[in-house]
Amino acid sequence: MKTIHTISLTRLGAALVLVSSFGMALPTQSEPRAAPGLPPSDHNEPLVVTPAQAGAVKRGLAWLAQHQNTDGSWTAKIGYKLNNDYNYISADRGHVGVTSLACMAFLAGGHLPGRGEYGEVVERGLGFILGSVQEDGYITRHRTRMYSHAFATLFLAEIYGTTRREDVKQKLQKAIDYIVESQNREGGWRYEPYANESDMSIVVCQVLALRAARNIGIRVPKATVDRAAQYVVDSAVTRDSGRRFGHPAFSSSVEVGTFHYQKDVYSRSSFPLTAAGVTALHGLGIYSDESIENGIEFLNRELARFNRTQGLHKGGHYFFWYGHYYGVQAMYTVGAPYWKPYFEEVRSLLLSMQHEDGSWPNRIGPGQAFGTALGVLILEIPYRFLPIFQR
């Protein structure tokens, strides 16, 4: 454990007291506590859904429904991020991760398998994901990796929580066991299972899948959660390093409030990684920590620059989408006064970016279905249908 990243024993002890509730008996909706220095959250604050927002969600869901494949999947470019680019392994194949995100967009809009306007869409998507669960529990097709596995596991957890289907439960437990078994010695995960190194963008996905599963009674070992918590708190930047990065997606310097890409003093930090770090802490049951306070302040300070460099200018870069997918979750959990201005700015930008056909762009990344699924999910957070979008 590198000294520059360590938190005090007092902070870690307090954090792990909260984490122990995750591993033992976490309720479906726990009440977060504000981080030091943040005002108490007003969790009774009404979440207004504007007509324009509701219309954008409706058009986005319609676009997704129209572009679902007959096997229940959504087509996307399968690959992995490589610095500012996206390296394709194969193009235009049924994508496990994108299919899971698209299906969650329907769930977040109140559509359940076999019920409602888009019930059959969700049912077909569920069939594709269940059919992608390998014997060892890994959820993959066409060489999709741990990002996709985590999104698919999260989707199965949300499905099982609402349906209690035994076939879903069995495959969900196998998928969770795979996450547990593939956790590395650092306490994290990376693109490929059983990798020796970790990175925050992968860790947050696994953490949220574990949290959602544990909330509905699926077995998650406490040791797995404790090790993940240690990794996340060790990844928080606790003093400015002075190291500078030129890429607009990254923080210009590794400064207090950000989270490292990897748990290393020389690793970069960024808006998306910081949003992921704060959301991971929340997902681990840690709501009171100075890293959350500093992270929230950084996200607010950098919001306009991030939107300008990664939004319209980049055609919805994957940094933009996953940055705000986790950013809005982080702000929503913290609550007033941070949530409302953050979400209103993001909502305004998303409404301006939506195409006439209801889709959203993703020029660098898996593609249009990915951007549309996340655009809809971000706008649906105030709907509060999904447990992961509930305080």
User: Inter-axis angle of helices 339-353 and 368-380, to 10 degrees?
Assistant: 140
Matching residue, tokens 């999904």: 386
Q: What is the mean pLDDT of residues 155-167?
A: 98
Asked if residue 54 has pLDDT above 60, the reply is yes
> What range defines the domain where residue 170 resides?
3-389
> 284 vs 267, 314, 355, CA distance in Å?
23, 32, 36
Q: What is the pTM of this model?
A: 0.88
Dist CA 153 CA 180 (whole Å): 12
Residue 299 has pLDDT above 80, yes or no: yes
Specify the pLDDT at position 264. 73
Model confidence pLDDT, tens digit, residues 188-218: 999 999 999 999 999 999 999 999 999 999 9
CATH number of the domain within which 313 lies: 1.50.10.20
What pLDDT was estimated at residue 44? 57
Q: Are 174 and 130 in contact (CB under 8 A)?
A: no
CB 211 within 8 A of CB 203: no
Tens digit of pLDDT for each residue in 85-129?
787 788 788 999 999 999 999 999 999 999 989 999 999 999 999
Token pair 């559509």: residue? 111
CA distance 103 to 153: 12
Once rounded to an integer, what is the mean pLDDT over residues 314-326? Answer: 92
Number of domains in the chain: 1
